[in-house]
Amino acid sequence: MDFGFSAEDDAFRAEARAWLSEHGEGAQDRRLWERTLGKAGWIGLGWGEGGYGNRTATLTQQVVWAEEYARSGAPARSGHIGEKLLAPTLLAHGSEEQKARFLPPIAVGEELWCQGYSEPGAGSDLAGVRTKGERASDGTYRVTGQKIWTSLAHEADWCFVLARTEPESRRHHGLSFLLVPMDQPGRVEVRPIRQMTGTSDFNEVFFDGAHAEHVVGGEGAGWQVAMSLLGFERGVSTLAQQIGFAAELGRVVETAVRSGAVADPVVRERLVRQWAELRVMRWNALRTLGSSGEEGAPSVAKLLWGGWHQRLGELAVQVRGAVASVGPREWAPSTPYELDAAQQMFLFSRADTIYGGSDQVQRTIIAERVLGLPREPKGVV
């Protein structure tokens, strides 16, 4: 089926694998890959006719591209936060000046972004914001506070920060959505958080009077803008994510057959259930694709895939038996302990039901906004 992409792009899968073999997946390699994608016109497909992105594509074409990208084994993206979260938010709430300033650099892979939402002591309570944005005499803001679990902050050029710009305000009132440059020595500090996998995918970010010129949607509208952004996390990206899930499930099935674990009827039942639930997730994602304003849809999607992936991680080590507790290489006190792919998935997936809004938070959203149950009492910040 022809979706309007040029013939030269039919070889993208081979090109991506060749690029990976020549380069790698370090921070500089990922940045170079973003520029490669931007030069080829593959960033900003869904931005419409405003002239800020590259190619234009229908929703169906975006799905095809996202799924084929996932199938290709192409490098992990470091620009997806800017492309998939900030860009749609700017298109919906940003000024023309902000669109012209920030969208073109994202489209060519030149500027990378991170998300400054979560804070220490607040858990999954996004309204528990203590980071302050004080207006200076020149109309800009000075941001002071701490964000945590900030993905890719160590690579990002910019951070969109939810900050409290109205003194003495409470909860979701008095918040603003600020765009903060990360290159501010002495005012922005990034500290990697070492996880039990041995890697550091997340960071703490400390702001000490960091300068911010841009506020999206106007001062005090931060909560509405932040909620709008979270709605963009479902849809096309969810379908692409499921391609990766299917590949992981396939590897677990292969391991179960190879190890003989598939002879256990309990294991077979779990494998079949994982396959069936993955199909349900796909149909649910297709059902809600392109919809807007459907209360609870993002929460349902998060509940489905978070628990599913966590159970898959458990199954990945179960089918290997006792050998799953041993690393891929002989360990020595002078070298770091290494993990194989299944062990990495098992450990990292423990966080799947926490980050992006815990399961408890998602269930509360569904209960209050969809089922109309009484709201849960919340303390003041």
Query: Looking at the annotation, which residues are catalytic?
Result: 233
CA separation for the pair 253, 260 (Å, rounded): 10
In angstroms, the CA 17 to CA 69 distance is 11
Q: Count of residues for the chain?
A: 381
88 touches 113 (CB < 8 A): no
Alpha-carbon distances, residue 266 vs 21, 271, 277 (angstroms): 40, 9, 16
Residue 151's Cα: distance from chain center in Å?
8
Structure tokens at 118: 């979560």
Q: How far apart are CA 72 and CA 68, in angstroms?
A: 6
Cα-based torsion angle of the residue sequence 38, 41, 46, 52 in order, rounded to the nearest 10 degrees:
70
The answer to whether 349 touches 312, Cβ cutoff 8 Å, is: yes
Tally Cβ neighbours within 10 Å of residue 254.
12
Q: What is the DSSP letter of 50?
A: S
- Nearest CA among 297, 302, 278 for reference residue 358: 302
Residue whose token pair is 């999206």: 216
